[in-house]
Amino acid sequence: MEHLQIFYRRNLPHYYPKGRKFFVTFRLADTIPQIKLDEWKQWYDEEAGKIRHNTLLNNEEKDLQTDILQKKHYALYDGYLDNNQNIQYLSNPAVADIVKNAILYYENQYYQTLSFCIMPNHVHWVFDTAIQMNNTIKEYKNLNYFVPSIKGFTAKECNKVLGRTGAFWQKESYDRVIRNAQEEENILRYVWTNPTKAGLVSKNEEWTYNFML
């Protein structure tokens, strides 16, 4: 396993190796109370510190334990979104269409989409950035470039449709580099089945904004 170089931005850990596959989740603003985010970050930092200072573990073992911890952290985040859908702007088809089209805007330029699911209050997206590694002319663009671009554009357009102002998306997104084929399979299954697990439909294919390559 490659040694993880992780940095924090606000409440979530981030790691952006070039040319890899990623799983990204971004959510509507104010869908998770800040007190919850602070609680989860404190718990994560404490557990990560225990792993980091455990002299019985080598670097590979620390990376593995950190990876497991990140998955547990995300489970708190996403479980809350599925069970607390008090803000549901993405249930509006016109709004969901704006988000879908924006996700596909940079397709085959910065990434290739493997899957996405637009839920009532958040979006799951799986994509591969390897297409950029074959481009010797343009500068490599990581998630810090195109994810904020997509969110910025859709925020303005969705607010127009809804006749509202103010923050549309929570500024920070969750992102995870996909480590191997088994994890990719697990994540793709998770994204595809999210609507049924959240009790929105009885069959995954019934959810209009569920895409799988």
Give tens-digit pLDDT for 79-134: 999 998 889 999 999 999 999 999 999 999 999 999 999 999 999 999 999 999 88
C-alpha to C-alpha distance for 158 and 12, rounded to whole angstroms = 25
Any idea where the domains of the chain sit in the sequence? 7-30+88-212
Name the class of domain 7-30+88-212: alpha beta
Task: Tell me the pLDDT band of 4, cut-offs 50, 70 and 90.
Answer: very low
C-alpha to C-alpha distance for 39 and 33, rounded to whole angstroms = 10
State the DSSP string of 26-75.
EEBTTSS-HHHHHHHHHHHHHHHHHHHT-TTS-HHHHHHHHHHHHHHHHH
In angstroms, the Cα distances linking 57 to 71, 111, 165 are 19, 36, 50
pTM of the entire predicted model: 0.88
5 has pLDDT over 50:
no
